[in-house]
Amino acid sequence: MTQPELDATLSIALMAALADGAQDAREEAELTRIAAALDPAAPGRLAGLLDDLRAGRRTPESAAGALGSPEARRAAFELAVGVCDADGAHGEPEARFLERLRSALGVDAGEAADFTRAAGAIVAAPVGVSAGAAPGGAAGGPRPAPDAAALDKLILDASILNGALELLPQSLATLAIVPLQMRLVYRIGQAHGYELDAGHVKDFLATAGVGLASQYVEQLGRKLVGGLLGRLAGGLLGGLAGAATGSAVSFASTYALGQVARRYYASGRTLTTDAVREAFQSMLADGRALQQKYTGAIQERARTVDVSKLASLVRGG
């Protein structure tokens, strides 16, 4: 990937993140993570890029001009859709931005609409089905301790599935990873007597230090830089290595989120933010080590995933 292509791709991701107009400390932190995910070698470039974007010196049209191939332009559009949809189906401001970007990139309107609808169905899937407890709190009365073996299997199965999704070339497969992680946290909370809505689950991921948009950018960025654009430059081997690395990261991050959620809800949600983040980093290392044991299972699971039914998969169907 050339520097102009990288700049264009990063600019598009940042424009997508800014399209909703939100400006707060969490949004700024997420922008920093997005920049680091796509261009880790130059983290200090974020301020300059944001100045260019806000001054109108970088636009969807100028970014499109730096992406020469139809494949690269389609991939950049899908990246933008994923960023806009990372925390739920996008609204009108994001829709206007995506249409302007689609036009600038020359992406077919029908293909863009199909992808956007499919992405929206994945991210709009509910995190779970209420079992009757009070929203955001523990169920009334004592509840038996959750089955430890069942929770182990739940976390491992989710980790294998997300590792498998990362091996697939489709952007929609990558987009499903965060919703599946959210569903995993929901189910672990439910097992401990808590009924959580999507807002509570997102807050837990943020507490652990996991950004929704930046995680998607990092995941898809590996496919863009090491995969599609790498192949255009003749770097097929790098693309294959990137897929394997992405699978390991998605397995490990899902495993860590599951184990930390288990600890957090077992404690009655008393762990501090620092304790949650420290536990997540510790479990992330455990997940990376464990992933090697399940490489074969991840590859086998990848062969059984029907990408056309990802929304159903996220819903637990």
- SS3 state at 207: helix
Residue 238, pLDDT above cutoff 50: no
Average pLDDT, the chain: 85
The tens digit of pLDDT for each residue in 147-183 reads 999 999 999 999 999 999 999 988 899 899 999 999 9
Across the range 57-81, mean pLDDT stands at 92
Banded pLDDT at 23 (limits 50, 70, 90): low
- Residue 98 is predicted with a pLDDT of 97
The residues, ordered by sequence, that sit 6+ positions from 144 with a Cβ below 8 Å of its Cβ are: none
The predicted pLDDT at position 25 comes to 67
Cα-based angle 166, 74, 35 (whole degrees, multiple of 5): 65
Tokens coding 114: 């199909």
The whole-number pLDDT of residue 113 equals 97
| Short-list 305, 10, 312, CA closest to 173 | 305
Q: Please state the pTM of the whole predicted model.
A: 0.84
- Look at residue 232 and tell me whether its pLDDT is greater than 50: no
> What band does 239 get if pLDDT is binned at 50, 70 and 90?
very low
Rounded CA-CA distance 155/201 in Å is 16
Q: Which of 286, 300, 48 is nearest to 167 (CA)?
A: 300
Integer angstrom CA distances of residue 203 from 51, 103, 127, 196:
29, 35, 13, 11
What's the Rg (C-alpha) of the chain?
Answer: 19
State yes or no: pLDDT of 253 exceeds 50: yes
pLDDT of residue 211: 84
Kindly report, residue by residue over 283-298, the tens digit of the pLDDT: 999 999 999 999 999 9
The 10 Å Cβ neighbour count of residue 147 is: 11
Look at residue 262 and tell me whether its pLDDT is greater than 60: yes
Per-residue pLDDT reduced to its tens digit, 175-229: 999 999 999 999 999 999 998 888 899 999 989 988 888 888 888 776 665 544 4
Distance CA 311, CA 314 (A): 5
Domains of the chain with CATH codes: 3-122 (1.10.3680), 129-315 (no CATH)
For residue 7, the model assigns a pLDDT of: 86
DSSP labels, 26-91:
HHHHHHHHHHHHH-TT-GGGHHHHHHHHHTTSS-HHHHHHT--SHHHHHHHHHHHHHHHHTTSS--
pLDDT on residue 273: 94
Percent of the chain beyond pLDDT 70?
85
Least confident of 78-87, 241-250, 306-315: 241-250
SS3 24: coil
* Residue of higher predicted confidence among 112 and 140: 112
Q: What is the pLDDT of residue 225?
A: 57
Least confident interval from 13-22, 54-63, 120-129, 133-142: 133-142
